[in-house]
Amino acid sequence: MSVMGRSTKLRELIGAIKDKASLSKAALLSKSTTLSLLRATTHEPSIPPNEKHIAALLSVGHSSRATASAVIEALMDRLQSTHDASVAIKCLITVHHIIRRGSFILQDQLSVYPAAGGRNYLKLSGFRDCSDPIAWELSSWVRWYSRYLEHVLSTSRVLGFFLCSSLSTVNKDEEEEQVSALTNQILIQEVTSLVDVIEETYKAPDSLHLDGHRLLGEVINLVGGDYLSAINEFSLRINEVAERLSVLSFGESVELVCALKRLENCKESSSMLRHRKKSSMETFWGFVSEMKDRLQKVYGEDDRMVMIGRRDRACESARMEERVLKAGDSVRFGSGRLVPNRFAFPILESVEPC
């Protein structure tokens, strides 16, 4: 047996001993929720959390808020105190299941932990497991997966509901109505935040040595399921943007184009999502490109109008009387939705009578 093989076997033996000691301690203290958590996040390097143990943890969400809070705190403590890459990934998978399938109480406790939140919400950006080459490679997945979940949690706060959650299913007509009532500022914030999630999906590490790794297979399945939800939410909002092209300000158009360019850059980085139907993805990328071009045309015209306005400003007072509308004249309005509490009119080159 090679040195690396002996090292891996020793690591697995130590992990099994740690698991047994922790389970025995939890059993003595009669902490059933801690037992479920430990069983779901063992040191076994390639086996995903057992569905039975995940279900037992999720069932806690149907009890008191105090119990749910204790489970989230125990999960986060285990996640942030472990130096084992397999345990960290299993903890993150458990967090992901809470986001997708947890009760309102569990999701609520997750959303407020810690109270400050922040970009490094799960505090794993510097995670390193140097025990062997496989653990070192898994460490890059821990860092990426935690960053991905941080984006999901952050975007969920922006949207006002948990992205990808089974509790967030809303009638399509109702959701379209809710999105149409958003102000431009909030709509753009939601679009940009959804782009963050989709973009992070494409940043998964390339791990050729871990092909067929069951634990990573579970991660890919979960993230792949989120991907469709994120695409649908993004498409709903970008369709609304299409309705408002004529009432977007220059700055709003630029912000949206920047977000769409970031999204377009992901097109060639689809190794993790190669199982997605090529035809449907081509349709999506074509839609993104078309919207980017339309927005660029809009703010390009705005820019030209601003330049014309600056050039003409010097003799504005001389022409003031020409700008007073006479009886019978009318203003031509741009098409698109009028955003609540805001009336934005496109700059037109002429004012024509009916």
| Torsion sign over Cα 134, 137, 141, 147 | positive
By the 8 A CB rule, do 156 and 111 touch? yes
- How many alpha carbons fall within 13 Å on the CB side of residue 13? 6
Instruction: Give residue-wise pLDDT tens across range 279-289.
Output: 678 888 999 99
**What percent of the chain clears pLDDT 90, i.e. is strictly above it?**
44
pLDDT band at 212 (very low <50, low <70, confident <90, very high): confident
Number of residues that this document lists for the chain: 354
> Over the chain, what HEC string results?
CCHHHHHHHHHHHHHHHHHHHHHHHHHHCCCHHHHHHHHHCCCCCCCCCCHHHHHHHHHHHHCCHHHHHHHHHHHHHHHHHCCCHHHHHHHHHHHHHHHHHCCHHHHHHHHCCCCCCCCCCCCCCCCCCCCCHHHHHHHHHHHHHHHHHHHHHHHHHHHCCCCCCHHHCCCHHHHHHHHHCCCHHHHHHHHHHHHHHHHHHCCCCCCHHHCCCHHHHHHHHHHHHHHHHHHHHHHHHHHHHHHCHHHCCHHHHHHHHHHHHHHHCCCCCCCCCCCCCHHHHHHHHHHHHHHHHHHHHHHHHHHHHHHHHHHHHHHCHHHHHHHCCCCCCCCCCCCCCCCCCCCCCCCCCCCCCC
pLDDT at 353: 42
| Torsion sign over Cα 347, 234, 257, 289 | negative
Instruction: Give residue-wise pLDDT tens across range 128-139.
Output: 999 888 889 999
* Residue 226, Cβ density class (10 Å: 0-12 exposed, 13-18 middle, ≥19 buried): buried
**What percent of the chain clears pLDDT 70, i.e. is strictly above it?**
69
- How confident is the model over 4-14, as a mean pLDDT? 51
255 has a pLDDT exceeding 70 = yes
97 has a pLDDT exceeding 90 = yes
Give the C-alpha separation, 90 to 215, whole Å: 8
332 has a pLDDT exceeding 70 = no
* Residue with tokens 């999204």, as numbered in its chain: 263
- How confident is the model over 62-84, as a mean pLDDT? 90
* Contacts within 8 Å (CB) and 24+ apart, 129-132: 129/83, 129/84, 129/85, 129/88, 131/7, 131/11, 131/84, 132/4, 132/7, 132/8, 132/11
Q: Quote the crossing angle between the two packed helices 32-40 and 85-101, to the nearest 10°.
A: 110
By the 8 A CB rule, do 127 and 147 touch? no
Instruction: Give residue-wise pLDDT tens across range 131-160.
Output: 888 889 999 999 999 999 999 999 999 999
Closest CA to 234 of 185, 199, 276: 199
18 has a pLDDT exceeding 80 = no
Query: What is the value of pTM for the model shown?
Result: 0.76
Q: Quote the crossing angle between the two packed helices 184-201 and 214-243, to the nearest 10°.
A: 150
Closest CA to 90 of 26, 133, 38: 38
